[in-house]
Chain A
Amino acid sequence: GAGVSQSPRYKVAKRGQDVALRCDPISGHVSLFWYQQALGQGPEFLTYFQNEAQLDKSGLPSDRFFAERPEGSVSTLKIQRTQQEDSAVYLCASSLQGAPEEQFFGPGTRLTVL
């Protein structure tokens, strides 16, 4: 089956614009994660879903960031009023269960805020 897919792969936004990033996890995977990866750094945890429930959003940097997974499958990460410091690669990952285990990553969306 297909792996984790993300769209768009690249997004350029003007400062102040809203953006929406989409993640299609592997079919049947219960857990879904969003990470932010700045240049030269490792992925930083943003938020975690188990099915449609957002169990942890402690990594979201501000209230401009919002994530949802309404039907327990596709997820959207929305960033309102984008700022230059939001420029990063946003990675989505999914895993089969709700236990510490390997996560399967998508290719990421590179967001550039001008």
Chain B
Amino acid sequence: DQQVKQNSPSLSVQEGRISILNCDYTNSMFDYFLWYKKYPAEGPTFLISISSIKDKNEDGRFTVFLNKSAKHLSLHIVPSQPGDSAVYFCAASAWVGDMRFGAGTRLTVKP
């Protein structure tokens, strides 16, 4: 069963605009959420995380929002840059070792 879902396989935005990537989860036991970025032929690279006690975490151009009641999180990238073009994975964890990933969203930032 897919406990973490990224319903948009792809997203295209113009350079300088905001990119919003969405993620939904079903397991209410998840209490730690992460976003990873992946380039071709490389492993995923950690981007930003948020624990369930917060509803927002910001790191430079990247902000993650968590809505626990809706079991929804989103990643905002502002402003988007061509180098941000990659596949973004949402992940959630209830305890160490049990990290579940979504299927990923391919972001393309056009110059």
Q: Are B45's CB and A105's CB within 8 A?
A: yes
Known contacts A56-B98, A107-B43: A100-B103 contact under CB 8 Å: no
Q: Are B103's CB and A91's CB within 8 A?
A: no
Residues of A within 8 A of B (CB-CB), count: 28
Give the residues in chain A near B45, CB-CB below 8 Å. 105
Q: For the complex, is A76 an interface residue (Cβ under 8 Å from B)?
A: no
Give the residues in chain B near A55, CB-CB below 8 Å. 97
Give the residues in chain A near B46, CB-CB below 8 Å. 102-104
Query: Which range holds the interface residue count of chain B?
Result: 20 to 34
CB contact list, A1-60 vs B, under 8 A: 4, 31, 33, 35, 40-45, 48, 50, 55-56
Q: With A and B bound together, what is the CA distance between A103 and B89 in angstroms?
A: 13
Give the residues in chain B near A104, CB-CB below 8 Å. 46
Looking at the complex, which one of A4, A41, A48 makes contact with B97 (CB distance below 8 Å)?
A48
Give the residues in chain B near A40, CB-CB below 8 Å. 103-104
Q: Which residues of B contact A (CB under 8 A)?
A: 4, 6, 31-32, 34, 36, 41-46, 49, 89, 91, 93-104
